[in-house]
A and B are shown apart, each in its own frame.
Chain A
Amino acid sequence: MNAEDTDRAYLYWLFSAPGVDRVTAMTMLAAYGSAQEVCRHAVSCLRYIDRPKRREAFLAYAQAGDPTASYERIREAGISFTAMPLPDYPEKLRDIPDPPFGLTWIGRLPDPVQPAVAVVGARQCSEYGRIMAARFGEELGAAGIRVISGMAVGIDGLAQRGALRAGGESYALLAGGVDNCYPAENRELYEALKEHGGVISESPVGMEPLRQLFPARNRLISGFCDILLVIEARKRSGTSITVDMALEQGRDVFALPGRVTDGLSEGCNNLIRQGAGIATCAADLIDALRTGELYPDRRIRTGIHMFDNTDGDSHGAENTPHGSANSRGKRRTPPPLLSPEEETALRGLDLMPRSMDEIASALQALGTPLELPILMESLVDLCMKNVAAEEAGRFYRKGV
């Protein structure tokens, strides 16, 4: 083990030590010069720890076994580590209030030069939120913008999946240890992120994803990004913590507008009222990233297919046979031919899922009623043509 590795290993020892937070660790380092020295003088370091319980825990930790062994173990497991004193500690995080003392990750850390957008929102989101999260994820990913999020069910995971689908990179900030895939249902996303991005955490390896860790985790989501995009959020939610953190850290906040009657858009509409940027498509964010001019080396892919809110179908470049990065994951199919009944039925659909009866009465109100069996047939056809979709016995129009 060379000197740098040893230093890192001891820093990891200090990082995983119980009862030692960032301030304590930095004080100890200032007093003794290096983590190795801190380890050697663990007993005298006890005076920097304020509570007796924590002192006991720290002492027991310091006296147990080889201090560098746990670092070797995580290296073998493919987990990387950095800490504030090290040069590879992300610069972006040094500027935020209360930066983490250390970070562990699998995969990579986001390239500090390249633009990053955090996409966050409710776990229990609506169909509108689902569609938009996936779409923003895809568009940002295709534009080469890193998508940062928390890998939660709902908006977070959908946006990250979208970015990966479009061939982009995405990074997840976890509340527990990086070896702990939470939530378990996002296992396949977790594995994909390790390949095409990274999973990052400020908790020691092996830590359970405890409830109280999540609010602190949110400051890292905003810390790693240039722009925070809120897809769907209720008035009071975990997302609002992330927004507060982002504002404190000087990040731009964008929100996806929604209908005023939707509880899930209340948070977003509120943000817009308070001056957040309005995100109608990824281009809105990209413009903001360009005007930043902070990083002249930034590369944002242009000429990519962007969603056009006025017209569902696209007339962009055709897929190249080998599929370049910016067209990967994009479907370029001509709009399907619809029968007159299907056209009518489609008018009764909305982005929000509607039940059969609601669709029937919507058509009635439009003056173009359809008989139930015919309506059902048309809806099934629309689903098969991928123009509409069905969930839990309700139908909705597909926006993508």
Chain B
Amino acid sequence: MFAAVLSGGVRGITSYLMQVEVDAADGLPSFVMVGYASGDTREAGDRVRVALKNAGYHIPPMRITVNLSPAAIRKERVSVDLPLAMGLLCATGELPEECLADTLVFGELGLDGEVRSVRGTLPIVARAAQAGIRTCILPADNAREGAAVSGMKIVGVRTLEEAVLYLKASAEERDGLIPPTTVDLEEVFAAGETSDPADFSDINGQETVKRAAMIAAAGFHHLLLIGPPGTGKSMIAKRMPGILPPLSEDESIEVSTIYSVAGLMGPEDTLITRRPFISPHHTVTEAALTGGGASPRPGLISLAHRGVLFLDELPEFHRATLDLLRQPMEDRRISIARAGFNCVYPADFMLIAAMNPCPCGYYPDRNRCRCAEHEIRRYLGRISGPILDRIDICVEAPRVKIEDLSGTHPAGDLTSAAIRDRVLAARGIQKKRFTGTKLRFNADMEPADIKRYCALGDAENAMLSGLFRSMGLSARAYHRILRLARTIADLDGSERICKKHIAEAACYRRADSSYWSGGGAA
């Protein structure tokens, strides 16, 4: 007899639906699996037979053929255990033929018949919902994640037996047996809002850096923090997600999809509602950062999608590893091409990098820093120019003084919530300005856009050309300053870019002349 069960898998970040077709025929007993399945997928056959036996179901000795359709897609790292078991039971007459109609089934089996969680629940369920499927039987541990997809009846099962009982029951009895899992998305988002214990008001002093962080968040500019060790650079970076606008539902689904594919969603997780904060150690390998590997997996830059990628000790990263960030920073996604597959992972992150100003960390305090200029230059030279070109804000985190730490400084009470309100207001202005264009934030502006959106008055133009002369700016610095000045003006609620906005932007510029080419003469 023949049976077909609808299931699904993920490849890269995209999901696909497949039919698990099972045919049980008379003949010499055998078990054949076809349909472009990789070795690990074929293992499902052995697992299912034992699991069925241990769950008390008898598979008669027959000639069993399994096909995973469409056969054009390579099935790799896909669990077809549960659909295969259901299909077998259908094909051998244990289950009624029509009970699996229009039902998506996926899950992994243990030998004892336990149903175990799989990765990629969210994209698979979403794909099925698009295809008009309304019921989904899946591992109980994945139920909350699947429930994020609206219009789908989510049935989480713990054992093979539960699944069989459920399917055997009539449509009216089913909900009584296993109530469908539902989640209140509003509640989920609200919980994500309040769960952050790190707040900007924890940081004493560092007023310049805090302001730079706010500007970075408002315009989605990449940020470089330079300062001696122990000045709270990582503290500030960790608090960045807290001042970025909350994830919208669409963004949240994007991020959750990546985490789901990477197998990072726990049984309690529905959606990722907090902006990710990813902080890889500087020994990170190229594949771990960008993703890939023998079978595709999202890398850290994709896990930082819509959130913050924090690279502490930037010059310690391998230059080749850092250079891999160039394409993602430009395209906001990373395409990975290997011999066997081709996939694209989103990677729209805000880069926050931190570094010491010199190998010892105390430059330009010449009383403590004894690094020779060529040493400093070599240290800074480890970061390639193209990466630095994409970082709009460069700010120094100076040593913290004792009065700052003891909390007597009056300005340490700016909370993350207060900063976020200002960021949101600035984002609102940008949204309005960029309606109908592909731009989202000021940081996305290309030179042509800058010309259009950053018109200057005569006084401002004069100031900018004055800056060019006195500070020796490059053409790149010109665009960076204007982009940044636009954001600062937006934060100020000012339609026009004024002199003070340009001046402030100039203060955050990368000090091309002194930092990156060795100190000039006085």
Please report A residues at the B interface, Cβ cutoff 8 Å: 123-127, 129-131, 133-134, 153, 157-158, 161, 185, 261-264, 353, 355-358, 360-361, 372-374, 376-377, 379-381, 383-384, 386, 389-394, 400
B185 within 8 A of A: no
Q: Do the beta carbons of B504 and A377 come within 8 Å of each other?
A: yes
Residues of A within 8 A of B366 (CB): 124-127, 129, 263-264
> Contacting A380 at CB < 8 Å: which of B206, B373, B507, B518?
B507
A153 partner residues in chain B, CB cutoff 8 A? 372-373
0/1 interface trace, chain B 175-210, chain A, CB 8 Å (1 if under): 000000000000000000000000000000111100
A390 touches B511 (CB 8 A): yes
Give 1 or 0 for each of B451-489: 1 = CB within 8 Å of chain A CB: 000000000000100110011000000000000000010
In the A-B complex, the 6 residue pairs with the smallest Cβ-Cβ separation, listed nearest first, are A130-B522, A355-B398, A377-B503, A380-B503, A126-B366, A393-B396
Of the A-B pairs whose beta carbons lie under 8 Å apart in the complex, a sample of 28, sorted by A's number, is A123-B373, A124-B369, A124-B371, A124-B372, A127-B364, A130-B521, A134-B521, A185-B518, A263-B367, A355-B398, A356-B396, A356-B507, A361-B401, A372-B211, A376-B500, A380-B467, A380-B507, A383-B471, A384-B463, A384-B466, A390-B514, A391-B511, A393-B226, A393-B395, A393-B511, A393-B515, A394-B364, A394-B396
| Residues of chain A lying within 8 A (CB to CB) of residue B398 | 355-358
Cβ-defined contact, B370 with A377, below 8 A: no
The distance in angstroms between the C-alpha atoms of A358 and B207, with both chains bound, is 10
Q: For A157, list chain B residues within 8 Å (CB).
A: 521
User: Contact between B522 and A131 (Cβ–Cβ < 8 Å)?
Assistant: yes
- Bound form: Cα–Cα A46–B357 in Å: 56
**A263–B506 alpha-carbon span in the complex (Å):** 32
Contact in complex: A393, B394 (CB < 8 Å): yes
**In the complex the two chains form, is B373's CB within 8 Å of A124's CB?**
yes
**Per-residue 0/1 for B485-504: is the Cβ within 8 Å of any A Cβ (1 yes, 0 no)?**
00010000000000110011
**Among the listed A261, A384, A393, which residue makes an inter-chain contact with B470, where contact means beta carbons less than 8 Å apart?**
A384
Contact between chains at B521 and A158 (CB < 8 Å)? yes
Residues of chain B lying within 8 A (CB to CB) of residue A384: 463, 466-467, 470-471
Chain A residues within an 8 Å CB radius of B519 = 391-392
CA distance A383 to B466 in the complex (A): 10
**B368: CB under 8 A from chain A?**
yes
CB pair A357–B208 under 8 Å, yes or no, is yes
Contacts of B518 in A (CB 8 A): 185
CA A360 to CA B466, docked complex, whole Å: 25
Question: Which residues from chain A contact B467 at a C-beta distance below 8 Å?
Answer: 380, 384
Q: How far is the CA of A268 from the CA of B499 in the complex (A)?
A: 44
Given the complex of chains A and B, what is the CA–CA distance between A341 and B470 in angstroms? 20
How many chain B residues have a CB neighbour from A under 8 Å?
42
Bound-state CA distance A158–B520 (Å) is 10
Q: Is B363 an interface residue (CB 8 A)?
A: yes
Q: Are A392 and B522 in contact (CB under 8 A)?
A: no
| Residue in A127, A161, A355 whose Cβ sees the most chain B Cβ within 10 Å | A355
Cα(A373)–Cα(B502), bound, Å: 10
Q: A363 CA to B82 CA in the complex, in Å?
A: 70
Q: Taking the nearest CB of chain B, how far is it from the CB of A339, in angstroms?
A: 11
Taking the nearest CB of chain B, how far is it from the CB of A387, in angstroms?
11
Inside 8 A of A373's CB, which chain B residues have their CB? 211, 488, 500, 504
Is the beta-carbon distance between A355 and B522 smaller than 8 angstroms?
no
- Taking CB atoms, residues of chain B closer than 8 Å to A185 are 518
Q: B380-418: contact bitstring with A at CB < 8 Å (1 yes, 0 no)?
A: 000000000000001110100100000001000000000
A372-B367 in contact (CB<8A): no
A53 to chain B, nearest CB (A): 34
Name the residue of chain A whose CB is nearest to the CB of B520.
A391
Do B207 and A357 touch across chains, with their CB atoms under 8 A apart?
yes
Closest-by-CB residue of B relative to A123 is B372
In the complex the two chains form, is B208's CB within 8 Å of A372's CB? yes
Evaluate contact between A390 and B394: CB separation under 8 angstroms: no
Q: How far, in Å, is B487 (CB) from chain A's closest CB? A: 13
CB-CB under 8 A for A376 and B503, given A392-B363, A393-B226: yes
Q: How far is the CB of B164 from chain A (nearest CB, A)?
A: 67
- Of the listed residues A127, A134, A161, A376, the one surrounded by the most CB atoms of chain B closer than 10 A to its CB is A376
| A80 CB → nearest B CB, Å | 29
Contacts of B373 in A (CB 8 A): 123-124, 153
Most buried by A among B211, B367, B499: B367
Query: Roughly how many angstroms separate A389 CA and B394 CA in the complex, as a whole number?
Result: 18
Q: In the complex, which of the residues A123, A261, A356, A377 contacts B500, with contact meaning CB atoms closer than 8 Å? A: A377
Chain A nearest Cβ from B408, distance in angstroms: 11
**What are the residues of chain B within 8 A of A380 when measuring CB–CB?**
467, 503, 506-507
Whether A353 lies near B522 (C-beta < 8 A) is: no
- CB neighbours (8 Å) of B394 from chain A are 393
A370 to chain B, nearest CB (A): 11
Q: Which residues of A contact B205 (CB under 8 A)?
A: 357
CB distance from A116 to the nearest CB of B (A): 23
Complex: chain B residue closest to A393, CB-CB: B396
CB closest residue in chain A, given B500: A377
A392 surroundings in chain B (CB, below 8 A): 357, 363-364, 396, 511, 514-515, 519
Report how far A394 CA is from B507 CA in the complex, Å. 9
User: Do the beta carbons of B514 and A161 come within 8 Å of each other?
Assistant: no
Chain B residues, Cβ within 8 Å of A360: 207-208
- Smallest CB-CB separation from A399: which chain B residue? B522
